[in-house]
Amino acid sequence: MEPTPDSQIERLLAALKQPNLEQRDRASSALWHLWFHQKGVYGARQLMQAQTLLETGQTNKAETLLSKLIIAQPDFAEAWNRRATLRYIQGTHWQAIADCQKTVQLVPYHFGALHGLGLCHSAVGNYTAAIQAFRQALAIQPYALTNQRMILECAAKLE
């Protein structure tokens, strides 16, 4: 009997909390794979094309591609997350925050979007909101040292 997608996701989320690094890495990779392939091969190819455009400095084309993908498939969480990443790189942090929030609305356990949300809030000086986002990411990935470090950095800026 094939497991339901929900039970598969629950197992992967539980694995993120295990002390075994290899188990956590496999679970993390599997979740990213699910997110990238949510809309099948076509959606994954579009995301990869946007990434290639971004890497070659064609940020406007990448953003246009991702925006069209979001319009066509507004429930494609990873398209929102990729556009958030692009907007963060471009320095349009408020737009990136909105895209991260949409990603998390669609996939509440998207630790990448929660981490990105924290980075964006930190970039605009919203350290309390950044800490909250990093804590949410840490609740999903308790061994993610980067989130622990960012919480400490933001807390230091509040003092």
Q: DSSP readout, the chain? A: -PPPHHHHHHHHHHHTTSS-HHHHHHHHHHHHHHHHTTTHHHHHHHHHHHHHHHHTT-HHHHHHHHHHHHHH-TT-HHHHHHHHHHHHHHT-HHHHHHHHHHHHHH-TT-HHHHHHHHHHHHHTT-HHHHHHHHHHHHHH-TT-HHHHHHHHHHHHHH-
Contact criterion met (CB below 8 Å) for 50 and 65: yes
- The pTM (predicted TM-score) of the whole model is 0.94
**3: which DSSP letter?**
P
Q: What does the pLDDT read at residue 5?
A: 64
pLDDT beneath 70, residues of the chain: 1-5
Q: How many angstroms separate the CA atoms of 136 and 129, rounded?
A: 11
Q: What does the pLDDT read at residue 6?
A: 82
Q: How many angstroms separate the CA atoms of 41 and 59, rounded?
A: 23
Q: What's the pLDDT tens digit per position in 79-116?
A: 999 999 999 999 999 999 999 999 999 999 999 999 99
Q: Which domains does the chain have, with CATH numbers?
A: 5-158 (1.25.40.10)
